[in-house]
Amino acid sequence: MKQLFLGFLVGIFLLSGCGYKPTARYAKEVLGHKIYAEVTISRQDPRNSVLIKDAVNEAVVSRFGGKLTSRELADTTLHVSISSISFSPTVYDKYGYVIAYKTTVTLLTKYEGVDKKPEQFTTSGEYDFSIASNSVISDSSRFDAIRYAASDAIDEFVSKIAIKGLRNGNNNQ
């Protein structure tokens, strides 16, 4: 027990001593604190657009540590649109029926950050899920898969923004 506690203290000391900063800090340097998020609603599939809007809003608050605000008060404007959503079979049972799928969501995110320079990133996220043998994908499974894959794509966007913030921070030093 003492060794575990000592190892924990040494780990904290090393992380704080080496200058560790969470990715949200670097992302906040690029995006600022007040963020306006807009998702283009797809006419072909409006329900998925709403799922992605919720995922974007959740990411702004939880991953960026930002605050959702109106366009006029925002430091950054995010505009997210769905490039594609696909389902591909990944696992088959012994009779040849599909029992697992991979969902891939590709998002195009355009943003104007604190520096007011417009940029864009294309990100994609994946989610694997299984279904009952000889069955079709239910609406709830489909929506969950899209939500999780979109969240994964947004995580990729957060990573790209954090890397940009890290590079900007290193250039300023």
Q: Cα–Cα distance between 2 and 7 in angstroms, integer?
A: 8
Digit-coded pLDDT (tens) for 18-59: 566 666 666 667 777 888 888 887 777 777 788 888 888 888
**Percent above pLDDT 90 for the chain:** 22
Distance between CA atoms of 63 and 25, rounded to whole angstroms? Answer: 10
Q: Do the Cβ atoms of 155 and 64 come closer than 8 Å?
A: no
d(CA 143, CA 165): 33
Fold that domain 22-172 belongs to in CATH:
Double Stranded RNA Binding Domain (3.30.160)
Higher-confidence residue of 156 and 162: namely 156
**Exposed, middle or buried by CB within 10 Å (0-12, 13-18, 19+), for 69?**
middle
Q: Read off the tokens for 21.
A: 């900063």
Cβ atoms within 10 Å of 8's Cβ, excluding its own: 10
Domain spans, the chain: 22-172
